[in-house]
Amino acid sequence: MPTRIIHFSDPQIVPAGEMNYDIDPQARLKLCIDAILSHTSDVDACFITGDLTHWGETKAYTVLKQELDRLPFPVYMMMGNHDHRQSFLSVFNDHPVCDQGFIQYALDMPCGRFICLDTLDKGKRGGILCEQRLVWLEGELNSTSEPVYLFMHHPPFDVGLPNMDKDKLANSDEFLKVIKPHKHRIRHIFFGHLHRSVSGSWQGVSYSCPPSPVHQTPLELENAKPGYVSPEPPVYQLVDIHNDSDGDRVVVHSHHFLHDAPAINSRTCYRYQKPAKPE
């Protein structure tokens, strides 16, 4: 059996009844949770890579908790630039934190160690991993010989979207220095912040970033200030991590959960038949 997780990012929840970018984020999250509950099974845990709320208010985290409490498996969260650690912890008071008070933690799963990082740089849109957080990361990497999976809000490199690249992890060189000796066993990096689907590899390590459950970043590769958000569909991702005799693989599925058209029955629907004699 693979380790099966749900990954989504940037739900940017606001207090109940409020709208943001003409969208009701709570209603969107509700639909996302409904879809996860009806379309998935055998899920080990859910990971939300930051920007949990839009302005970090306690009452927004309360709304988030109300929806996430419907999930029958553990939910692990990270801080994004829109988050506030103390408000988050006032609502999610049993969520893991590290000794220094950052929302950083490591989880030993059947497929290896999941390391979740806190890249929040208070008051800034971009991210940071300060000395304390990097030392903690180094300790978690050094204390296992198992495969490692990293989770964080800010991408540690440019993806070619100028309005987002300026706010990536500010000290990615220092981050790279810490992970470099362990790169051969870092199997995947999960991040958010971009509000659009981006995947590939960096330094030989695969990565994925899902679109947000709410508003999306437009595909504007030349324009650093597009001045609009994209209505592209929201997504959560179901990830199967295999680490068995068949060899290791990380498979990332995207579910566009607003697509609620009736399913097409492949047995009863009209299908164009193969001509008897090809022309």
Parallel, antiparallel, or unpaired for β 205-209 and 3-8?
unpaired
**Contact by Cβ (8 Å): 230, 218:** yes
Shortest distance in whole angstroms from residue 211 CB to Fe ion? 11
**Contact by Cβ (8 Å): 241, 52:** no
Considering the complex, state which of residue 35 and residue 169 has its C-beta at the smaller distance from Fe ion: 169
Shortest distance in whole angstroms from residue 3 CB to Fe ion? 26
Considering the complex, state which of residue 217 and residue 243 has its C-beta at the smaller distance from Fe ion: 217
**Contact by Cβ (8 Å): 84, 52:** no
Considering the complex, state which of residue 63 and residue 241 has its C-beta at the smaller distance from Fe ion: 63
What does DSSP assign to residue 109? E
User: How far is Cα 225 from Cα 237, in angstroms, rounded to an integer?
Assistant: 28
What does DSSP assign to residue 116? E
**Tokens read off for 102:** 């950052």
Considering the complex, state which of residue 4 and residue 54 has its C-beta at the smaller distance from Fe ion: 54
Considering the complex, state which of residue 147 and residue 175 has its C-beta at the smaller distance from Fe ion: 175
Considering the complex, state which of residue 55 and residue 73 has its C-beta at the smaller distance from Fe ion: 55
Beta bridge partners of 200: 207
**Contact by Cβ (8 Å): 196, 188:** no
In Å, how far from its chain's centre is CA 203? 20
Shortest distance in whole angstroms from residue 50 CB to Fe ion? 6
Vertex 194 angle, CA 17 and 72, to 5°: 55
Residue nearest Fe ion by beta-carbon distance: 51
User: How far is Cα 155 from Cα 237, in angstroms, rounded to an integer?
Assistant: 17
Beta bridge partners of 232: none
User: How far is Cα 124 from Cα 121, in angstroms, rounded to an integer?
Assistant: 6
Judged by the rule CB under 5 A, the positions of this chain that interact with Fe ion are 10, 51, 80-81, 193
Shortest distance in whole angstroms from residue 128 CB to Fe ion? 13
Shortest distance in whole angstroms from residue 142 CB to Fe ion? 29
Shortest distance in whole angstroms from residue 210 CB to Fe ion? 11
Considering the complex, state which of residue 84 and residue 193 has its C-beta at the smaller distance from Fe ion: 193
Residue 250 Ramachandran class (φ > 0 left, ψ -120 to 50 alpha, else beta): beta
Considering the complex, state which of residue 82 and residue 255 has its C-beta at the smaller distance from Fe ion: 82
Shortest distance in whole angstroms from residue 80 CB to Fe ion? 4
Shortest distance in whole angstroms from residue 154 CB to Fe ion? 7
